[in-house]
Amino acid sequence: MAEIIPHWLDKQAALSPNELALEIPDKETLTFKELQERSQSFARKLAGIGVKCADHVAIYAHNSSEMVVMIHALSYLGAVAVLLNTRLAVKEISFQLNNAEVGYILTDVSLPSDVFDFTAPIYSVEEVHQLNEEVVELLGEINLDDLFTIIYTSGTTGKPKGVQHTYGNHWWSAIASALNLGIDNRDKWLASLPLFHVGGLSILIKSVIYGMPVYLLEKFDEQVVHNGIVNQGVTIVSVVSLTLQRLVDVVAESNQFYPSSFRCMLLGGGPAPEPLLQKAKSLQIPVYQTYGMTETSSQIVTLSPRDALDKLGSAGKPLFPAQLKIVLEGEIANNYQVGEIHVKGAMVTKGYFRAEDANRSAFDHNGWLATGDMGYVDAEGFLYVMDRRKDLIISGGENIYPAELESVLSGCPGVKDVAIVGKIDSTWGQTPVAFVVVEEKEIVTADEVISYCSKYLAKYKIPKEVYFLEQLPRTASNKVIRHQLSKLLNN
């Protein structure tokens, strides 16, 4: 039997109509009632261009009140929001539009109709605002089993996969977080993570479920975040290692410590260096590490407030509705044995869109998701993440999969063979580096390789260095031995 709840924005607008829902510093504020009215109006205008229940509608936008309104508006029509990473190259986005069977594209900027290799109509926010509202019955209830969002994540094969999130996935993610961190009526959650990432989107969902204001930034700025915490009542901030480092530096240099009302620096995007965690601890910054991914609708393992200082370096324990196990050679691993992390819970996606092979390999018949990440659990049940997938490169909190870059570079004229590895970087955590083998008698320069990549890849994915080898180290089964290439970077 389907689980039905009142539409969450309607409910919060009824409970707390005049309470703050959204604050964009120095620009605008919206109450829950105002957010409801703007979202419903936008939904009626979308209905006028033909958007209806179950349609897949792409959103290509930056953090703004308009993007928040677009997301909620689609929920009133029962349409599915396909959230596009604006940092991707045109060819990458075109693939996602086709794969997700998108019928409409909404954007906060004016885009030429032929910018993507795709035929769906593109509507800017301004164009939608100029439309008349259609007389249409908006959804007053939410079926938790219904599909709400699709967010693409690259797999280790390099092919992007659309992670399907139901309303129930987002609901249980929010509930699980509340059961761990608690809810304070003074809470204000700062969001500088892109809303097209699940970590940013999840804050919007928490907002309407908790009745909590979101302090929304278009992009991360350490001075603005610091001021938000010290002077504007921000109590929780979601960060990655790179942004945490910048905030730690600001506190250390200014000698201006956070007030006692600041509850949590929620750290995701991969394990943080222990020296950084120690420095944050010395400055009395409450950092709670988390483990999660797009497939788990944000965090699924998080340190609790009582364990944050005693278990430095751990991602914590599975949140209340979640389960976790470490699998080693097909068996459940013992304490401290490193194996693959498997997770299960109501916040875990039921599968990828139009990717049956990936679904068969990732999910078992009991609902367990094989994450591909490696880690171990200590004697007290705390998870320690060793690697974010075997070959994953994390640069500034963004996931970069070597196979995706290798697939692109294999099409570069003169390139015979290529392998991508991550190089330690003091600013970004890691940056991608290319090892290239060229065709016989061909002359290929590093500049040509980088220029070729810039045509097909987002800027953060482009290799920062290129090395040329006569051949790549491979196993007998023809797999690249990446750790040998990594050693070359240190020699």
Every domain of the chain with CATH number 3.30.300.30 lies at: 393-490
How far are the Cα atoms of 95, 407, 418, 420 from residue 410, in angstroms, in the given order?
Answer: 18, 5, 7, 11
134 three-state secondary structure: coil
Q: 334 CB contacts (<8 Å, ≥6 apart)?
A: none
Cβ atoms of residues 43 and 76 within 8 Å = yes
- Say how far apart CA 143 and CA 465 lie, in whole Å: 49
- Alpha carbon distance 107, 455 (integer Å): 22
**Which residue, 15, 22, 135, 133, is CA-closest to 69?**
22
pLDDT at 158: 58
* CA dist., res. 268 & res. 478, Å (int): 34
Residue 248 is predicted with a pLDDT of 95
Crossing angle between the packed helical segments 198-210 and 65-77, to the nearest 10 degrees: 70
Chain position carrying tokens 């996606």: 349
Write the DSSP symbol of residue 459.
G
CA distance 244 to 271: 12
Q: What tokens appear for 469 in the block?
A: 């080898």
Distance set, CA 386 to CA 12, 125, 373 (Å): 40, 43, 8
- Residue 182 CA to residue 20 CA, distance in Å, equals 19
Superfamily the domain 393-490 falls into: ANL, C-terminal domain (3.30.300.30)
For CATH 3.40.50.12780, the residue range(s) in the chain are: 4-383
CA distance 335 to 338: 9
Instruction: Retrieve residue 214's tokens.
Output: 């979101």
pLDDT in tens, the chain (491 residues): 779 999 999 999 999 999 999 999 999 999 999 999 999 999 999 999 999 999 999 999 999 999 999 999 999 999 999 999 998 888 889 999 999 999 999 999 888 778 888 889 999 999 999 999 999 999 999 999 999 999 998 644 457 899 999 999 999 999 999 999 999 999 999 999 999 999 999 999 999 999 999 999 999 999 999 999 999 999 999 998 889 989 999 999 999 999 999 999 999 877 677 778 889 999 999 999 999 999 999 999 999 878 877 888 899 999 999 999 999 988 999 999 988 999 999 999 999 999 999 999 999 999 999 998 888 999 999 999 875 566 778 899 888 878 788 878 888 999 988 999 999 888 899 999 999 999 888 899 999 999 999 999 999 999 999 999 999 987 544 567 887 898 888 76
- For residues 176 and 302, what is the distance between their CA atoms, to the nearest angstrom? 10
Confirm if 268 and 292 have CB atoms less than 8 A apart. Answer: yes
> What predicted TM-score, i.e. pTM, was given to this entire model?
0.86
Residues 382-392: b if buried by 16+ CB within 10 A, e if exposed = bbbbebbbebb
Q: What is the pLDDT of residue 479?
A: 64
Task: Give the contacts of 435 (CB within 8 A, at least 6 positions apart).
Answer: 418, 419, 420, 421, 467, 468, 469, 472, 485, 488
Q: What's the confidence (pLDDT) of residue 491?
A: 67
CATH superfamily of 4-383: ANL, N-terminal domain (3.40.50.12780)
